[in-house]
Amino acid sequence: MTNPDPYCAWCGGVIEGTPGPGRPARYCRRSHRQRAYEARRQAERRGLAPDGVVLNRHTWERLRDALYRLEAAATDVALDVGSERATKADYVEALGHLSAAVRDLQEVAVEPTAIRD
Ligand SMILES: [Zn+2]
Protein backbone atom coordinates (compact mmCIF):
# COMPACT_ATOMS: atom_id res chain seq x y z
CA MET A 1 0.00 0.00 0.00
CA THR A 2 1.34 3.44 -0.91
CA ASN A 3 1.14 6.55 1.21
CA PRO A 4 -1.80 8.63 -0.06
CA ASP A 5 -0.03 11.83 1.02
CA PRO A 6 3.73 11.66 0.49
CA TYR A 7 4.33 15.02 2.18
CA CYS A 8 5.22 15.61 5.81
CA ALA A 9 2.27 16.87 7.85
CA TRP A 10 4.65 19.25 9.69
CA CYS A 11 7.06 20.76 7.14
CA GLY A 12 5.51 19.75 3.81
CA GLY A 13 8.71 18.02 2.72
CA VAL A 14 8.66 14.75 0.84
CA ILE A 15 8.49 11.67 3.05
CA GLU A 16 11.24 9.25 2.08
CA GLY A 17 10.32 5.82 3.15
CA THR A 18 9.82 2.26 2.31
CA PRO A 19 6.27 1.34 1.44
CA GLY A 20 5.13 -1.68 3.32
CA PRO A 21 2.59 -2.96 5.74
CA GLY A 22 1.38 -0.77 8.56
CA ARG A 23 0.25 2.79 8.90
CA PRO A 24 1.77 5.17 6.33
CA ALA A 25 4.21 7.72 7.72
CA ARG A 26 2.83 11.23 8.21
CA TYR A 27 6.15 12.94 9.01
CA CYS A 28 9.49 13.05 7.26
CA ARG A 29 11.43 12.61 10.50
CA ARG A 30 10.94 11.78 14.11
CA SER A 31 11.58 15.38 15.27
CA HIS A 32 8.76 16.63 13.03
CA ARG A 33 6.36 14.13 14.56
CA GLN A 34 7.40 15.53 17.96
CA ARG A 35 6.96 19.19 16.82
CA ALA A 36 3.48 18.36 15.54
CA TYR A 37 2.62 16.65 18.82
CA GLU A 38 3.82 19.70 20.79
CA ALA A 39 1.83 22.02 18.52
CA ARG A 40 -1.34 19.97 19.04
CA ARG A 41 -0.81 20.10 22.81
CA GLN A 42 -0.28 23.89 22.72
CA ALA A 43 -3.36 24.35 20.57
CA GLU A 44 -5.41 22.30 23.00
CA ARG A 45 -4.20 24.38 25.96
CA ARG A 46 -5.05 27.61 24.14
CA GLY A 47 -8.43 26.48 22.87
CA LEU A 48 -7.34 26.44 19.22
CA ALA A 49 -8.31 23.81 16.67
CA PRO A 50 -5.75 20.95 16.74
CA ASP A 51 -5.07 21.40 13.04
CA GLY A 52 -5.26 25.19 13.15
CA VAL A 53 -2.52 27.40 11.76
CA VAL A 54 -1.50 30.74 13.22
CA LEU A 55 0.26 33.24 10.97
CA ASN A 56 1.54 36.67 11.83
CA ARG A 57 -0.21 39.50 9.98
CA HIS A 58 2.79 40.37 7.80
CA THR A 59 3.14 36.80 6.50
CA TRP A 60 -0.61 36.49 5.98
CA GLU A 61 -0.74 39.72 3.96
CA ARG A 62 2.24 38.71 1.80
CA LEU A 63 0.70 35.30 1.16
CA ARG A 64 -2.73 36.76 0.37
CA ASP A 65 -1.27 39.37 -1.99
CA ALA A 66 0.95 36.83 -3.76
CA LEU A 67 -2.02 34.49 -4.26
CA TYR A 68 -4.09 37.38 -5.64
CA ARG A 69 -1.34 38.25 -8.17
CA LEU A 70 -1.04 34.58 -9.15
CA GLU A 71 -4.79 34.28 -9.67
CA ALA A 72 -4.86 37.44 -11.80
CA ALA A 73 -1.92 36.26 -13.89
CA ALA A 74 -3.54 32.82 -14.40
CA THR A 75 -6.76 34.52 -15.48
CA ASP A 76 -4.84 36.61 -18.03
CA VAL A 77 -3.20 33.48 -19.45
CA ALA A 78 -6.56 31.72 -19.67
CA LEU A 79 -8.07 34.70 -21.52
CA ASP A 80 -5.15 34.81 -23.96
CA VAL A 81 -5.32 31.08 -24.63
CA GLY A 82 -9.06 31.37 -25.27
CA SER A 83 -8.70 34.33 -27.61
CA GLU A 84 -8.32 33.79 -31.34
CA ARG A 85 -6.70 37.22 -31.67
CA ALA A 86 -3.93 36.63 -29.12
CA THR A 87 -0.48 36.96 -30.59
CA LYS A 88 2.73 35.27 -29.62
CA ALA A 89 3.73 38.51 -27.89
CA ASP A 90 0.51 38.36 -25.84
CA TYR A 91 1.34 34.80 -24.74
CA VAL A 92 4.91 35.73 -23.88
CA GLU A 93 3.77 38.73 -21.85
CA ALA A 94 1.05 36.78 -20.01
CA LEU A 95 3.37 33.89 -19.24
CA GLY A 96 5.99 36.36 -18.02
CA HIS A 97 3.47 37.80 -15.56
CA LEU A 98 2.48 34.29 -14.49
CA SER A 99 6.11 33.31 -13.95
CA ALA A 100 6.75 36.49 -11.91
CA ALA A 101 3.67 35.80 -9.79
CA VAL A 102 4.90 32.27 -9.05
CA ARG A 103 8.30 33.66 -8.00
CA ASP A 104 6.56 36.17 -5.69
CA LEU A 105 4.65 33.33 -4.06
CA GLN A 106 7.81 31.22 -3.68
CA GLU A 107 9.44 34.08 -1.77
CA VAL A 108 6.78 33.99 0.93
CA ALA A 109 8.43 31.72 3.46
CA VAL A 110 6.06 30.03 5.86
CA GLU A 111 8.03 27.80 8.19
CA PRO A 112 6.16 25.81 10.83
CA THR A 113 6.92 26.58 14.43
CA ALA A 114 5.13 25.49 17.54
CA ILE A 115 3.74 28.17 19.82
CA ARG A 116 5.84 28.32 22.95
CA ASP A 117 4.72 29.12 26.45
ZN1 LIG B 1 8.94 17.18 7.98
Q: How far, in Å, are 23, 27, 94, 110 from residue 39 at the CA level?
A: 22, 14, 41, 16
Q: How many angstroms separate the alpha carbon of residue 30 from the centre of ligand 1?
A: 8
Q: How many angstroms separate the alpha carbon of residue 57 from the centre of ligand 1?
A: 24
Give CA–CA dist 18/33, Å, rounded: 17
Q: How many angstroms separate the alpha carbon of residue 36 from the centre of ligand 1?
A: 9
Question: Taking a C-beta distance cutoff of 8 angstroms, is the pair 80, 94 a contact?
Answer: yes
pLDDT tens readout for residues 36-64: 998 888 888 889 887 778 888 999 999 99
pLDDT of residue 22: 81
Q: What is the pTM of this model?
A: 0.65
pLDDT of residue 3: 45
Collect residues with CB below 5 Å from ion ligand 1: 8, 10-11, 13, 28, 32
